[in-house]
Amino acid sequence: MKKFIHDFKVIKKWLPGSNHVILHLLCSEPLPPIKAGQFAEILIPDEPEVFLRRPISIHDVDTKNNTISLFVKIVGKGTYKLSELRVDDTLNLLYPLGQGFEFPEHDKILLVGGGCGVAPLLFLAHSLSQHNYHPDILIGSRNADEIHETGEYEKYGNLYLITEDGSLGEKGLVTHHSIFKTDEFKYKIVYACGPEGMLKAVNQKLKGFDTEVFVSLENTMACGIGACLSCVVKTTTGNRCVCTEGPVFNTKELAGW
């Protein structure tokens, strides 16, 4: 898929919590086709100590209004700089990068997200709804303060929540949710986004079921084009770059999963 470098204008900024920011960006050029699960490499403006672009999942896309949104966890100088952006500021993106989610042949679909790893999940739910799928969506986090945009997810599917402290939805880890406790797991396709430990736990939970599990990996992706080899993952067919051959993989492809 062809890649583009475009300038975007910040048209809306929302700080849903102390360590997250959601940016809505207007493209200066017509948006190219973008698949759920793809990401952008973002040039951090006016920050000489951050010389590498930062890989950020594309949170949602509005082709009608030529906008995209980014869900960013503030963890360092680069992402902190993104949180300081103001409306009308300009941001330069290299995108769309990586291989996104493929649409299923089945309609029994479960989306699972945890922590900041939920970033690609909204666009995935949105895209599935545009193809007449109505997935179930399970989101987990440490507490209620870290779960955001529930109304947006509810536009596209049935939303279920779980928090480690029980402050919202059921109590426990994602894999403790009652969805996973049924005698006969009904979903044929599971798409999961989140920390690697959660992804592996979901995959282990579903072994033995007739279910395909697709995960979006969060490996460090310094270049986004397969040149630096910092994001390599071991697969059943050898080492592969997450930034170009992922970040979405069927867990059957991943060695040791």
pLDDT tens per residue across all 257 residues of the chain: 799 999 999 999 999 877 899 999 999 899 999 999 999 999 999 888 888 999 999 999 999 999 999 999 998 999 999 999 999 999 999 999 999 999 888 889 999 999 878 999 999 999 999 999 999 999 999 999 999 999 999 999 999 999 999 999 999 999 999 999 877 788 999 999 999 999 999 999 999 888 999 999 988 888 999 999 889 999 999 999 999 999 999 999 999 99
What is the reported pLDDT for 119?
92
Q: How many residues does the chain have?
A: 257
Check residue 229 and give left, alpha or beta (phi > 0: left; psi -120 to 50: alpha).
left
Q: What are phi and psi of 215, to 5 degrees?
A: -125, 150
Beta pairing class for 158-163 and 170-171 = parallel
Return the amino acid letter for 28: S
What is the reported pLDDT for 17?
78
Distance from C-alpha of 87 to C-alpha of 91, rounded to nearest angstrom: 11
Domain ranges of the chain: 4-97, 109-216
Token duo for residue 18? 């102390």
Token duo for residue 134? 């109505």
What is the reported pLDDT for 160?
97
CB contact at 8 A, 130 and 109: no
What is the reported pLDDT for 184?
74
The CATH architecture that domain 4-97 belongs to is Beta Barrel (2.40)
Q: Select from 1.10.510.10, 3.40.50.80, 3.20.20.70, 3.40.50.1860 the CATH code of 109-216.
A: 3.40.50.80
What is the reported pLDDT for 46?
86
What is the reported pLDDT for 88?
98
**225 alpha carbon, distance to own chain's centre:** 18
Is there a common fold for 4-97 and 109-216? no
